[in-house]
Amino acid sequence: ALITLRQLLDHAAERGYGVPAFNINNMEQGLAIMKAAAACDAPVILQASRGARSYAGDIMLRHMVTALAEMNPTIPVVLHQDHGNNDATCLSAIRHGFTSVMMDGSLEEDMKTPASYDYNVDITARVTRAAHAVGASVEGELGVLGSLETGEAAAEDGSGAEGKLSHDQLLTDPDQAVDFVLRTKCDALAIACGTSHGAYKFSRKPDGDILSMETIRRINEKMPGVHLVMHGSSSVPQDLQDLINAHGGAMPQTYGVPVEEIERGIKLGVRKVNIDTDCRMAMTGQFRKIAQDKPDEFDPRKFLIPAMKELEALCRDRFERFGAAGQA
Ligand code: G3H
Ligand code: 13P
Ligand code: NA
Ligand code: ZN
């Protein structure tokens, strides 16, 4: 059944687990994610970006996710708007059956320019008032995602933003986080702790201090009740880079967020873990492999079935490691 983000994350907090939030654009991603959730009895967050909504269409997305929930009657599902950029995006999502929205006021409407604190509080509080009036949940974001390694802010699409930011700007301020949640009444809070979107997060092997666990720990200490969200949580697995590159791909070597780091974050209060890049790489790895291994193949299902299997295995691993398995 479709439930709200608040319902799911309250349960996750009570039991101390994290829920992966996988991005969805099409039926095959939905089928694979739900197969994994059903196989390990885990609740799931399916999130659609603005790009996903224009790719599939709101009506298609709603019917698709409703169908996925109906096919898996024991699995709680949240349908969440990822990175809403203004009131209209969030309210139209709710109108189309989303049970939760992210109002990302950390950036201006263009989703590139870091926004002022006052802008963020205003727009997030306004969207939360409207969403709560009709029973939907809201995720806010405070702090600018970006690499602590390069000091580059990350735009929503994973491209670098203008100029360099200091360490302080790339990490959410714990006192400001308390003020933000009190003033906006958002249900979940995305924080900046050193992750960024996309495949190219770190240029060398992470050494264990790649994320600011201290930021997570301090926010949770000040506000034990708040549900924290970690964006940019793909691990960019080496085996998927190798699979892609062994079959005609040309992805430069890169490093993501190790799953152990996410597990540490979950112990400190992270409840929602956003993953898109890893899912893309799982499917694309198999597309490339089939295309190269079977050049005479032209039935799309012969590409999509292995791609779904690869994605399902990835999702299962994350459900299990985040502690969501068995929690449906
Ligand atoms: O944070 C961005 C997500 O990975 C969604 O990406 O806007 O290309 O669908 P997208
Ligand atoms: P990745 O690019 O690390 O998968 O992050 C996805 C994300 O944060 C979506 O909001
Ligand atoms: Na989100
Ligand atoms: Zn994100």
pLDDT tens for the 328 residues of the chain, in order: 999 999 999 999 999 999 999 999 999 999 999 999 999 999 999 999 999 999 999 999 999 999 999 999 999 999 999 999 999 999 999 999 999 999 999 999 999 889 999 999 999 999 999 999 999 999 999 998 875 666 666 655 555 555 567 777 789 999 999 999 999 999 999 999 999 999 999 998 888 788 999 999 999 999 998 999 999 999 999 999 999 999 999 999 999 999 999 999 999 999 999 999 999 999 999 999 999 999 999 999 999 999 999 999 999 999 999 999 999 9
Three-class DSSP category at 26? coil
CA–CA separation, 150 vs 153, rounded Å? Answer: 9
Give residue 317's pLDDT: 98
* 82 among known catalytic residues: yes
pLDDT of residue 208: 79
Residue 327 lies in a domain: no
- Ligand 1 nearest atom to the CA of residue 277, by list position: 4
Tell me which ligand sits closest to the C-alpha of residue 48: 1
Are 143 and 173 within 8 A, CB to CB?
A: yes
> In the numeric block, which tokens belong to residue 141?
């974001």
In a domain, 33, yes or no: yes
**Residue 297 lies inside a defined structural domain of this protein:** yes
d(CA 114, CA 153): 9
pLDDT of residue 144: 86
Task: Write the burial class of residue 149 (CB in 10 Å: 0-12 exposed, 13-18 middle, 19+ buried).
Answer: middle
Residue 80 makes CB contacts below 8 A (sequence gap 6+) with: 5, 21, 45, 46, 47, 48, 98, 99, 100, 101, 102, 139
Centre of ligand 3 from the C-alpha of residue 230, in Å: 9
What DSSP letter does each residue of 275-310 carry, written as one string?
E-HHHHHHHHHHHHHHHHH-TT---HHHHHHHHHHH
Report the separation in Å between the CA atom of 275 and the middle of ligand 2, taken as the mean of its atom positions.
5
Overall size of the chain counted in residues: 328
pLDDT of 206 reads: 82
* Position 244 in a domain: yes
What atom in ligand 2 is closest to the CA of residue 275? 4
Q: How far apart are CA 123 and CA 104, in angstroms?
A: 9
What is the residue range of 112's domain? 5-321
Distance CA 201, CA 217 (A): 22
The verdict on whether residue 234 carries a ligand-binding annotation is yes
For residue 235, being part of any structural domain is answered with yes
Atom of ligand 1 nearest to the CA of 198: 4
Q: What is the CATH number of the domain that holds 185?
A: 3.20.20.70
pLDDT for the residue numbered 154: 61
CA of 303 to the centre of ligand 4 (A): 28
| Number of separate domains in the chain | 1
Burial of 75 per CB tally in 10 Å (0-12, 13-18, 19+): middle
What tokens appear for 140 in the block? Answer: 């806010």
Q: Residue of the nearest CA to atom 9 in ligand 2?
A: 274
Ligand 1 site, residue 276, Cβ cutoff 6 A: yes
What per-residue confidence (pLDDT) applies to 126? Answer: 98
Q: What is the pLDDT of residue 151?
A: 65
Q: Is residue 264 part of a domain?
A: yes
pTM: 0.96
Ligand nearest to the CA of 198: 2
Give the pLDDT confidence score for residue 147 in this predicted structure: 59
Asked, for residue 161, whether it belongs to a domain, the answer is yes
- How far away, in angstroms, is 24 Cα from ligand 1 center? 10
271-285 burial string, b = 16+ CB within 10 Å, else e?
bbbbbbbbbbbbbbb
Of 166, 140, 168, 135, nearest in space to 152 by CA: 166
Residue 49 beta carbon below 6 angstroms from any ligand 1 atom: yes
Query: Which one of 22, 23, 201 would you pick to mutate in the ligand 1 pocket, going by the greatest count of ligand atoms within 8 A of its CB?
Result: 23
Q: What is the pLDDT of residue 106?
A: 95
Q: How many Å from the N-terminal Cα to the C-terminal Cα in the chain?
A: 11
β-partners of residue 229 are 190, 272
> Would the annotation count 232 as a binding residue?
yes
Q: Is residue 326 in a domain?
A: no
Please choose from 277, 278, 283, 318 the residue to mutate so as to test ligand 2's pocket, defined by most ligand atoms within 8 A of CB: 277
pLDDT at 76: 98
